[in-house]
Structure 1
């Protein structure tokens, strides 16, 4: 897109990689959409009282953010940070955790936000300069924690200062927004397709046709 200036300035892109540092992305004009694995059926449920892990992350250490996360929390019981693949199912860890970390990898976007929401886990987002999906529609503070990467050493303190009642409100709102982060073969009201279309509608004033096309 950076090589097609006319298109870049006048078309609305719908992208997962909504980082301010990418030359092809124009913040506040282009629309951020979530990276989501297609899944069939309703999301599984797990009562908050049965979620024994406080904070969970597993993945490759392919960015400075993830390496910093591992360096700070690799030996702390309450914050489970695992390098590489788990030996047990990833879904079990998501279902058994109260908070699940989204940390920037090669790209600012990963499927971990969608994974966390699908399994009813409150996302903790460690990705600076990232336009969150549906940011003009959803109040992310009502169902997630957005933490600056410089505050990774304070992560345990930040989470533990959240009361159980506050956590219950966050988790309850996670269940309410799950429908917005699901794709279907045929669109269903308020699903990811309709959210994306609404994002486009909100940005309709950014599109300008060349005078010759009028």
Structure 2
């Protein structure tokens, strides 16, 4: 089952039959899918609602919501949320502007730059690989580990590979090798802009401290309302050199590493998807984030009253 399908299925446990007592409204995905000309998905990770739609199609979909249901006009979409893996970009159409600026957009992690509004939007924790929990059971052979695809900048890859205490894969490893290398390293290195950062939560449950290489603000990190990422990860600018990176990691090793590691393992349970939702898991954390956003933006449609001059 895909991540989006799982979230949508779990969501209906919070479904209310009385629409007047609802705090949030899920924008009906079937309505938006109808404007994709019944394009059949090619896989479970196929584009989600809005990902391939034109501005005109999105605008028509919002217009249908406005016409068919009474809820949109009450707040101009501020009490609605929708799921769009790629997020929404910038558009000039009025309907799309209301959707993008008022409604909560739940998108896949990480989002595209410019498609995420931090005070209202949410990112979905990715599905983790089915690996055993063996945090800290291996010999810590490496200071850092870079799996194939986690760092894509060729300059960074070349410089990191020249250091014997940092393991950089030249090609993808199988699951058993991956698990062995996870348990044998202290830090995992991710290039935030270009690399694959989706295994972030997966590695944290091994007690592995993530290192995020990036310069742009990290506003779309997972569960920003729940987790304090400054206490879970090490942040390094992309213009830094490898020696500076190792200096930062060495400093973290002196007094912060054990605290970081324990915090990562404790926080990882909030990033896990279970076959049946469990207390404090990824699904319930997402529902909590939606709940606290129910009054983030409250745009009430104005009703103009004209008085006849006597």
TM-score, normalization: structure 2?
Answer: 0.59
Which residue of structure 1 lines up, in the alignment, with residue 97 of structure 2?
5
The answer on whether the counterparts of 1:70 and 1:82 sit within 8 Å (CA) in structure 2 is: no
Q: Secondary structure at the match of 1:172?
A: helix
Structure 2 CA distance, aligned partners of 1:61 and 1:102?
5
Which residue of structure 2 lines up, in the alignment, with residue 194 of structure 1?
284
Structure 1 CA distance, aligned partners of 2:227 and 2:237?
20
C-alpha change, 1:36 and 1:155, in structure 2 (3 Å) is: farther
- If asked which structure has higher relative contact order (CA below 8 Å, sep 6+), I would say 1
C-alpha change, 1:93 and 1:204, in structure 2 (3 Å) is: same
Q: Which runs of 5+ in 2 are unaligned?
A: 1-87, 303-310
Q: Which moved more, 1:181-190 or 1:121-130?
A: 121-130
The answer on whether the counterparts of 1:180 and 1:190 sit within 8 Å (CA) in structure 2 is: yes
Which residue of structure 1 lines up, in the alignment, with residue 183 of structure 2?
95
Q: Which runs of 5+ in 1 are unaligned?
A: none
The answer on whether the counterparts of 1:61 and 1:67 sit within 8 Å (CA) in structure 2 is: no
How many residue pairs were aligned? 206
Which residue of structure 2 lines up, in the alignment, with residue 30 of structure 1?
121
TM-score, normalization: structure 1?
Answer: 0.82
Q: Secondary structure at the match of 2:147?
A: strand
Q: 2:165 aligns with which of 55, 78, 90?
A: 78
Which of these two proteins has the greater Rg computed from alpha carbons? 2
The answer on whether the counterparts of 2:182 and 2:203 sit within 8 Å (CA) in structure 1 is: yes
* Match status 1:58 vs 2:58: no
Q: Secondary structure at the match of 2:252?
A: coil
Which string of whole-angstrom CA distances, capped at 9 and with x for unpartnered residues, describes residues 136-183 of structure 1? 221112221122212243111111122344211111111111211100
Correspondence list, 1:8-23, <5 A:
8-19=100-111, 21-22=113-114
Measured after TM superposition, the shift of residue 210 of structure 1 is 5.8
Structure 2 CA distance, aligned partners of 1:39 and 1:86?
15
* Match status 1:110 vs 2:197: yes
Structure 2 CA distance, aligned partners of 1:169 and 1:61?
24
Correspondence list, 1:140-155, <5 A:
140-153=229-242, 154-155=244-245
* Match status 1:183 vs 2:270: no
Structure 1 CA distance, aligned partners of 2:118 and 2:279?
27
C-alpha change, 1:36 and 1:148, in structure 2 (3 Å) is: farther
The answer on whether the counterparts of 1:20 and 1:26 sit within 8 Å (CA) in structure 2 is: no
Q: Secondary structure at the match of 1:149?
A: coil
Q: Secondary structure at the match of 2:168?
A: strand
Measured after TM superposition, the shift of residue 121 of structure 1 is 0.7
